[in-house]
Amino acid sequence: MFSSYRMGAITLPNRIVMAPLTRRRAGAGFTATPMMAAHYALRASAGLIIAEATMVHRTSLGYPDSPGIWNEEQIQAWKLVTDAVHRENGRIFLQIWHVGRYSHPLMQENGALPVSASAVAIEGVINTPSGYKTHVIPRALETAEIPEVVAWYASAAANAIQAGFDGVELHGANSYLIHQFLEDGVNRRTDTYGGSIGNRSRFLFEVVEAVAAEAGASRTALRLSPSYIKNNMSDSDPVKLYSYVIDRLNDYKLAYLHLTEPVLPVDHLPQYLKKVAPYYRKIYKGTLMSCGGYTYDTARQTLEEGIADLIAFGTLYIANPDLVERFRRGAPLNTADKDTFYTGGEKGYMDYPLLNQPV
Ligand X SMILES: Cc1cc2nc3c(=O)[nH]c(=O)nc-3n(C[C@H](O)[C@H](O)[C@H](O)COP(=O)(O)O)c2cc1C
| Contacting residue, 7, 17, 53, 289, with ligand X by CB under 6 A | 53
Phi, psi of 143 (to 5 degrees): -55, -45
CB of 277 to ligand X, least distance (A): 13
Which window, 78-86, 99-107, 166-174, 273-281, contacts ligand X (CB under 6 A)? 166-174
In angstroms, rounded to a whole number, what is the distance separating the alpha carbons of residues 139 and 133? 17
| Contacting residue, 7, 17, 19, 308, with ligand X by CB under 6 A | 19
Under the binding rule (CB under 6 A), the answer on residue 20 touching ligand X is yes
**Residues with a known catalytic role:** 176
Nearer to ligand X, 195 or 344 (CB): 344
Under the binding rule (CB under 6 A), the answer on residue 341 touching ligand X is yes
In angstroms, rounded to a whole number, what is the distance separating the alpha carbons of residues 73 and 71? 6
Nearer to ligand X, 191 or 337 (CB): 337
Which window, 14-22, 36-44, 148-156, 242-250, contacts ligand X (CB under 6 A)? 14-22
- Spell out, one character per residue from 232 to 261, where the chain touches ligand X: x when CB under 6 A holds, - when not: ----------------------------x-
Nearer to ligand X, 106 or 336 (CB): 336
Per-residue burial over 220-231, b if 16 or more Cβ lie within 10 Å, else e, is bbbbbbbbbbeb
CB of 311 to ligand X, least distance (A): 9
Contact yes or no for 46/299 (Cβ under 8 A): no
Under the binding rule (CB under 6 A), the answer on residue 291 touching ligand X is yes
| Number of Cβ atoms within 10 Å of the Cβ of 234 | 11
Contact yes or no for 254/212 (Cβ under 8 A): yes
Size of the site for ligand X (CB under 6 A): 22
Under the binding rule (CB under 6 A), the answer on residue 41 touching ligand X is no
**Among 117, 46, 56, 27, which Cα is nearest to 85's?**
46
Decide: helix, strand or coil at residue 30. helix
Nearer to ligand X, 25 or 219 (CB): 25
In angstroms, rounded to a whole number, what is the distance separating the alpha carbons of residues 127 and 135? 10
Segment 94 to 123, residues that bind ligand X, using CB under 6 A: 95
Under the binding rule (CB under 6 A), the answer on residue 22 touching ligand X is yes
How far out from the chain centre does Cα 51 lie? 8
Tally of CA atoms within 13 A in the half-sphere of 179 that contains its CB: 27
Looking at residue 174, the DSSP 8-state letter turns out to be T
Contact yes or no for 257/249 (Cβ under 8 A): yes
| Contacting residue, 7, 12, 17, 21, with ligand X by CB under 6 A | 21
Under the binding rule (CB under 6 A), the answer on residue 15 touching ligand X is no
- Interface ranges with ligand X (CB under 6 A): 19-22, 52-53, 95, 171, 173-174, 223, 260, 263, 291-294, 313-316, 341
